[in-house]
């Protein structure tokens, strides 16, 4: 039996036939798993496992223990789970926060991919910083761009992912809307594994940063979760910092990002309307992420302070952003934000990336 700190994928099942299948797939992925035949013995392995594979035979018993949410848990069974008593498996899977319910043999290829990714995750993945606005126009996209530029200044291999299909496009903020490269439209049908060098070389680049976004002035087109999963898996294996700009309405693709986030920053202006709007979003984010912090814009002595806003929402304060003179003119010229020496966006982002790098012991 592996030690609790070995960070191997977890197989939680007492079904011998299912276990035979899982071990065969683990061998195909060249991965060694921790095999636990009872819920009572799974607790010490649950949190450390980069992937938790729960058998349909034990998911009900596990759900009754109300385990902490696992970001990469899946439920697996050998028979179709849409008939007979197995219908309850889906309810139990939701109770443990499983990302999917898979049936074998149809899902064998997908499960091998998950097992392979779990081995790479155990070896180390890039931290993911997600940025979301507490209300429309809060400045989340500007902060996402600023953080990516800060990562580049810190000599970290940095990538930027635009996950907001209704935004104006991060390449536009970077002045790179005409840069050659593939956008989400070309990747919408992509699934499975992809090597980071191939993805990096296919994307448009701005100031040395590969950017995944949409073609400018195209109709709304959501990102399929499978495509987002492929891009995130490749980027986190090949980069040292991944920054993602998320929509306020958390769709299936945004949920894929939130499952992988190291830190999520909620950007909010310091006014009552913004606080009320954010109160609707915060509970949803808390269900998906373990580290949610607040960035307050435009706090003043005669208005709401950043501390008051943070206290109202019950969130730790990551920092404040003062208004940046001339920012609109800068963007209208096609110049990227957060590159001026006195830019509040640049100062905040440089300090944040430096702290994150120290906390996670990132190597340049």
Two tokens, residue 193? 């594994």
Selection from 202, 321, 219 nearest residue 266 by Cα: 321
Q: Which tokens is 266 given?
A: 């909620």
Residue matched to tokens 């934000």: 337
Listed in sequence order, the residues at least 6 apart from 204 whose beta carbon sits closer than 8 Å to its beta carbon are: 171, 176, 179, 180, 181, 182, 183, 210, 211, 213
Buried b (16+ CB within 10 A) or exposed e, 86-102: beebbebbeebbbbebb
Residues 6+ apart with CB under 8 A from 121: 50, 51, 72
Q: Is the pTM of this model over 0.75?
A: no
Q: 323 φ, ψ to 5°?
A: -65, 145
Residue 74, SS3? strand
pLDDT digits (tens, 9 = 90+) for 287-334: 888 899 999 988 766 678 889 999 999 999 999 988 776 666 766 666
Structure confidence at residue 360 (pLDDT) = 79
Low-confidence ranges of the chain (pLDDT < 70): 1-7, 80-87, 119-124, 300-302, 325-328, 330-336, 338-341, 361-364
d(CA 27, CA 21): 10
* pLDDT score, position 333: 67
Cβ neighbours of residue 126 closer than 8 Å, sequence gap 6 or more: 157, 235, 236, 237, 238, 239, 240, 241, 242
| pLDDT for the residue numbered 148 | 95
Q: Which residue has the tokens 């028979």?
A: 79
pLDDT at 197: 79
Q: What SS3 class is residue 90?
A: helix
Calpha distance 71→258 (Å, rounded): 9
For residue range 191-207, list pLDDT tens digits in order.
777 778 788 999 999 99
Q: Hey, what domains does the chain have and what are their CATH numbers? A: 10-123 (3.40.50.2300), 128-360 (3.40.50.300)
Q: Which two tokens stand for residue 201?
A: 């070389």
Residue-level pLDDT at 180: 92
For residue 281, how far is the Cα from the chain centroid? 17
What SS3 class is residue 131? strand
pLDDT of residue 84: 44
What is the per-residue pLDDT for 122? 52
Distance of CA 76 to the CA centre of its chain: 23
CA atoms within 13 A on the CB side of 44: 10
Query: What stretches of the chain show up as alpha helix (H) in DSSP?
Result: 16-28, 43-46, 59-64, 88-95, 108-123, 140-153, 170-173, 184-187, 196-202, 225-238, 252-260, 272-288, 306-313, 327-332, 344-360
């Amino acid at each position: 039996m592996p030690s609790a700190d070995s960070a191997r994928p977890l197989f939680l099942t007492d079904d011998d036939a299912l276990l035979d299948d899982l071990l065969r797939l683990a061998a195909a992925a060249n991965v060694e798993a921790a095999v636990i035949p009872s819920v009572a013995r799974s607790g010490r392995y649950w949190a450390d496992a980069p992937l938790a594979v729960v058998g349909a035979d034990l998911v009900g018993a596990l759900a009754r223990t109300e385990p902490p949410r696992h970001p990469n848990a899946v439920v697996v069974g050998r028979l179709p789970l849409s008939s007979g008593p197995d219908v309850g498996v889906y309810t139990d899977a939701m109770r443990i926060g499983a990302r999917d319910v898979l049936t074998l043999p149809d899902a064998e290829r997908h499960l091998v991919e998950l097992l392979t990714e779990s081995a790479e995750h155990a070896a180390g993945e890039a931290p993911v910083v997600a940025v979301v606005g507490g209300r429309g126009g809060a400045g989340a996209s500007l902060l996402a761009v600023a953080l990516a530029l800060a990562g580049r200044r810190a000599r970290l291999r940095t990538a930027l992912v635009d996950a907001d299909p209704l935004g104006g496009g991060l390449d536009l903020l970077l002045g790179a809307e005409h840069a050659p490269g593939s956008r989400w439209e070309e990747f919408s049908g992509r699934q499975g594994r992809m090597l980071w060098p191939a993805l990096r070389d296919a994307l448009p680049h701005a100031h040395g940063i590969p950017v995944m976004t949409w073609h400018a002035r195209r109709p709304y087109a959501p990102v399929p979760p499978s495509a987002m999963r492929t891009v995130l898996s490749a980027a986190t294996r090949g980069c040292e910092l991944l920054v993602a700009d998320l929509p306020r309405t958390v769709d299936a693709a945004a949920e894929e990002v939130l499952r992988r986030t190291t830190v999520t920053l909620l950007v909010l202006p310091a006014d009552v309307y913004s606080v009320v709007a954010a109160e609707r979003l915060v509970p949803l984010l808390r269900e998906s992420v373990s580290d949610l912090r607040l960035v307050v814009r435009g706090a003043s002595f005669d208005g709401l302070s950043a501390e008051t806003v943070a206290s109202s929402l019950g969130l730790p304060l990551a920092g404040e952003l003062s208004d940046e003179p001339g920012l609109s003119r800068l963007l209208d010229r096609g110049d990227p934000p957060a590159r001026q020496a006195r830019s509040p966006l640049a100062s905040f982002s440089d300090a944040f990336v430096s702290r994150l790098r120290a906390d996670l012991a990132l190597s340049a």
